[in-house]
Chain A
Amino acid sequence: MARITLDGIAHSYLPRPRGPGDFALKPLDHVWRDGGAYALLGPSGCGKTTLLNIISGLIAPSRGRVWFGERDVTDLPTEQRNIAQVFQFPVIYDTMTVYDNLAFPLRNRGASDAELDARVREVARVLDLTGSLGRRARRLSADAKQKISLGRGLVRPDVNAILFDEPLTVIDPQLKWELRAQLKHLHKQFDFTMIYVTHDQTEALTFADAVVVMVDGEVVQMGTPEELFERPTHTFVGFFIGSPGMNILPCTVTGATAQVGAHAIPLPCRYPTLGADAGRVELGIRPEFVHLTDLPDGYPVVVRGVDDVGRHKVVKVTFAGQDLNLTAPEETVVPAVGARLSFETARLNIYRDGQLIAGTPIEREAA
C-alpha cells in the first residue's frame, strides 16, 4: 500500500499536441493519501478516465511522473504496479468458476495452494459470494459479476490501490445501495487506497472522503462532500453537484448587498463593489437553502411548476425574471399564486467569472 503522487501529469492523445486544447488532461499535481477514498467526478470527456488509466499504467502520460510511495512507476507496466481495477462492464473469465476467477490473480503470481485457498474463501466471504464459488461466473447476475471483478483485486495481498471506472453503470438502483455500502465497508476494513471514477454525484459523494471535480481536462475543485456542497469554488461545481444544481443568478454587488433585478439581497460578507463592469458577477444559492415563506418580507415569485420527487418537492419559480429552483418538504402545499421565498443568508455565495470570491464576514443583527 502506498501514497500515490502525480507530479506534473498531463496527457494528450495526439502525438504532437500544439496547444492546451489538444490535451485531454491538463497539467496536474496531486497526492493521493495512503488508504484514502477518492472520487473523480465530472461529465463525459472531462479526462477522469484518462487520469485513472495513467495511475493504473494503461496509458503512459505525455508529461510528468507518477510515484507510488518513494518509487517512480511512470515507466512500469500495469502488471508491475500492484493495482487492481474494476471496469464499467463486469470483466469475468467466462469459462471459469467463481472460485477460479478469484484465484486467477494469485495463480498468475504463483501463490501456494493453501494460501490461495484461504485468500479466495476469505474474499468470497466478505463479498457474500461463498455460495456461488462452484458456479460458472458467466451465469451470475451483473452485480455478482461486478463483485467478482472487485474480488480479483481484494484477493491480492500486495495491492497498492483499487481503481474503479464507473463500476455501477450496469447495476439496478436497489442493488447499487447494497454494493456501495459493501464497498464503503470494505474500505474501512481493508484500508486500501481507492480511486473511483464516476459521473454520478451521489456515487462520488457517498463513496469518497475527498471528491475531485473535473471538467475539460482540469480539476476545478477538490474537497470533502460538505465543502463541495456548501462552498463550491466554481459555478460549475455548484451546478454539477446537487440535484437540482445550485441556482446561479446574475447580479451586482455593493458592500454586503447583492442586487438581483429589483431586489436587494443582504449577503453574509462584505465585498469590494462589483458593478456591471466587474465581469460576470453571480449570486449562487443552493435550492436546499431557499425556502417558501409566509412572511410579508419574502421575495415575491411566480411558481412555474412543482416536481414531486417523493421525499421532497422541487419547486420551480421565476424570481426577478430568472428561473430558480427550491426544495420543499414532502407535505408542502405550494400556493399557486402569491408565493414568497426567503434565502438562508449564510449560504449565499458570490462568483465572479465563475470563481468564488471571498468576502469579509460581517456580524449581522438577527433579522
Chain B
Amino acid sequence: MDTKPVNQRAWLMVAPVLVIVAFSALIPLMTVVNYSVQDIFGPGEAYWVGVEWFQEVLRDRRLHDALFRQFLFSGLVLLIEIPLGVAIALAMPRSGWKVSLVLIVLALPLLIPWNVIGTIWIIFTRPDIGLFGVAINAAGLTFDHTARPLDAWVTLMLMEVWHWTPLVALLAYAGLKAIPPAYYQAARIDGAGPWSVFWYIQLPKMRGVLTIAVLLRFMDSFLIYAEPFVLTGGGPGNTTTFLSIYLVKMALGQFDLGPAAAFSIIYFLIVLLFSWVFYQALQNVGRADRAGGGPQG
C-alpha cells in the first residue's frame, strides 16, 4: 500500500538537494551532450556535427575491446562476489560478541580509500618485496602483474573481491537477520536440509538486499577506474584498459573531447540499461505478481 504522505513542504526540504544535483549532475551532463554533438576547436569555434562522434565512437575497435573487457570484468565480479558474499553471510554468527568482531573485520576493507587500495596491492604483489609476490614466486610460479596480462587480471580481481565482497556479505547478513525464526523452525519440522532451507527460505527472503547488492556491484565495477589506474595503468598493453581508463585517455590524453563526450553518453546509457535489466530480472524472479496483500491494509 502507498505510504507516501501528502506534504508540499517536503519539496521545500529537498530543494537544496535538487539544486546540488542539478549543478553536480545535470549541468555537466548537458555540457557533455553539448560536446558530443559539436566539433570544438576553441572558444567560439564550434561546429555542429550531429551524430558523427557517436558513429565514430561506435566504430572504434579499441572501444569494442574495452567494452568487452569491461563486461568480462563486471561479470566476473558479480559471479564471484555475490555467491561469496552470501556464503560469508551464511557462515557468520547470528548472535553474541563474535558478531561485532566479524562485522568490524568485514568492514575494514570498505574503510580504505580507493587509490590507497591500489597502492597496497602494488606493494603486496611485488615480486621483490611484496608478501604475495614473493610467496608465489617462492612456490615456483612466475607472477608479475606488470608484464603478464593474466597475472594483472588475477591481481585486479583479487583486489576487487577483497575490497567489495564484505559489502555484499553485510547486505546479505542484514537480509538473513530479518528472517523470522519461525521459518527455520518450520523448515526443520518439515525435514528440510540446509540446502532446501537456503534455496526455499533464505534466498527468496534475501531477494531485496541481493538486488541492491547486484546493482551496486554492477554499477561500481562497470565504472571502475582508480584501482586499475594505480595498479596497472591499463596495461600490460591494453589488457586492463577498461572503459573509464580508455575514456580518460581519449579525453585527456588525446584531448578528443567530442568523441569522449559521445562515449560518455553511451557509457552512461549502458550502465542505466543494465541496471534496469538487473532490477527487473531480480524483482520478477520466481514471482508471478507484486500485488499480493500485505499483512494489513
Q: Which residues of A contact B186 (CB under 8 A)?
A: 85, 87, 91, 149, 152
Question: Does A89 make an interface contact (CB < 8 A)?
Answer: yes
**A87 with B185: CB separation less than 8 A:** yes
Q: Which residues of A contact B189 (CB under 8 A)?
A: 56, 78-79, 83-85, 105, 153
**A139 with B182: CB separation less than 8 A:** no
The distance in angstroms between the C-alpha atoms of A9 and B289, with both chains bound, is 47
**B203 (CB) vs chain A CBs: closest residue:** A95
**B293 (CB) vs chain A CBs: closest residue:** A141
**B286 (CB) vs chain A CBs: closest residue:** A95
> Given the interface contacts A93-B201, A94-B204, A138-B292, does A105 sit within 8 Å of B190 by beta carbon?
yes
Query: Hey, what's the 0/1 contact readout for A101-119 against B, CB within 8 Å counting as 1?
Result: 0001100110000000000
The distance in angstroms between the C-alpha atoms of A197 and B193, with both chains bound, is 27
**B190 with A152: CB separation less than 8 A:** yes
**A108 (CB) vs chain B CBs: closest residue:** B191
Q: How far is the CB of A53 from chain B (nearest CB, A)?
A: 8
Query: Hey, what's the 0/1 contact readout for A65-88 against B, CB within 8 Å counting as 1?
Result: 000000000000111000111011
Task: Summarize A's interface: helix, strand, loop or mixed.
Answer: mixed
**B185 with A58: CB separation less than 8 A:** yes
The distance in angstroms between the C-alpha atoms of A330 and B294, with both chains bound, is 39
Question: Does A96 make an interface contact (CB < 8 A)?
Answer: yes
- When the two chains form the complex, which single residue of B180, B287, B295 contacts A170, counting CB atoms closer than 8 Å? B295
**A105 (CB) vs chain B CBs: closest residue:** B190
Question: Does B200 make an interface contact (CB < 8 A)?
Answer: yes
Q: Which residues of A contact B287 (CB under 8 A)?
A: 95, 136, 138
Question: Does B192 make an interface contact (CB < 8 A)?
Answer: yes
* Size of the chain B interface, CB-CB below 8 angstroms: 23
Q: Which residues of A contact B190 (CB under 8 A)?
A: 104-105, 108, 152
Q: Which residues of A contact B139 (CB under 8 A)?
A: none
Question: Does B288 make an interface contact (CB < 8 A)?
Answer: yes
The distance in angstroms between the C-alpha atoms of A162 and B164, with both chains bound, is 46
Q: Which residues of B contact A94 (CB under 8 A)?
A: 204-205, 286
> Given the interface contacts A96-B200, A170-B295, does A109 sit within 8 Å of B185 by beta carbon?
no
> Given the interface contacts A87-B185, A91-B186, does A139 sit within 8 Å of B191 by beta carbon?
no
Question: Does B274 make an interface contact (CB < 8 A)?
Answer: no
**A139 (CB) vs chain B CBs: closest residue:** B292
* Size of the chain A interface, CB-CB below 8 angstroms: 29
The distance in angstroms between the C-alpha atoms of A84 and B186, with both chains bound, is 8
Q: Which residues of A contact B200 (CB under 8 A)?
A: 93, 95-96, 104
Question: Does B100 make an interface contact (CB < 8 A)?
Answer: no
**B185 with A78: CB separation less than 8 A:** yes
Q: Which residues of B contact A170 (CB under 8 A)?
A: 295
Query: Which of A56, A108, A142 counts the most B-chain CB atoms under 10 A from its CB?
Result: A108
- When the two chains form the complex, which single residue of B183, B188, B193 contacts A78, counting CB atoms closer than 8 Å? B188
The distance in angstroms between the C-alpha atoms of A169 and B10, with both chains bound, is 38
Q: Which residues of A contact B293 (CB under 8 A)?
A: 141
**A79 with B188: CB separation less than 8 A:** yes
Q: How far is the CB of A119 from chain B (nearest CB, A)?
A: 14
Question: Does B196 make an interface contact (CB < 8 A)?
Answer: yes
The distance in angstroms between the C-alpha atoms of A96 and B186, with both chains bound, is 15
The distance in angstroms between the C-alpha atoms of A341 and B293, with both chains bound, is 51
The distance in angstroms between the C-alpha atoms of A178 and B287, with both chains bound, is 30
**A110 (CB) vs chain B CBs: closest residue:** B191
**A91 with B196: CB separation less than 8 A:** no
B window 33-90: CB within 8 A of A: none
Query: Hey, what's the 0/1 contact readout for A291-310 against B, CB within 8 Å counting as 1?
Result: 00000000000000000000
Q: How far is the CB of B180 from chain A (nearest CB, A)?
A: 7
**B185 (CB) vs chain A CBs: closest residue:** A58
Q: Which residues of B contact A91 (CB under 8 A)?
A: 180, 182-183, 186
The distance in angstroms between the C-alpha atoms of A104 and B187, with both chains bound, is 9
**A108 with B193: CB separation less than 8 A:** yes
Taking A91-B186, A152-B186 as known contacts, 9 extra A-B pairs with beta carbons closer than 8 A to each other, sorted by chain A number, are A56-B185, A85-B185, A87-B182, A88-B182, A94-B204, A94-B205, A96-B200, A108-B192, A108-B193
19 A–B contact pairs at CB < 8 A?
A56-B185, A56-B189, A58-B188, A78-B189, A79-B189, A85-B186, A87-B185, A88-B182, A89-B182, A93-B201, A94-B205, A94-B286, A95-B204, A105-B190, A136-B288, A139-B289, A139-B292, A152-B186, A153-B189
Contact surface of B with A, Cβ cutoff 8 Å: 180, 182-183, 185-186, 188-193, 196, 200-201, 204-205, 286-289, 292-293, 295
The 10 closest A-B pairs by CB, nearest first: A108-B191, A91-B186, A87-B182, A105-B190, A95-B286, A93-B200, A78-B188, A94-B204, A139-B292, A95-B204
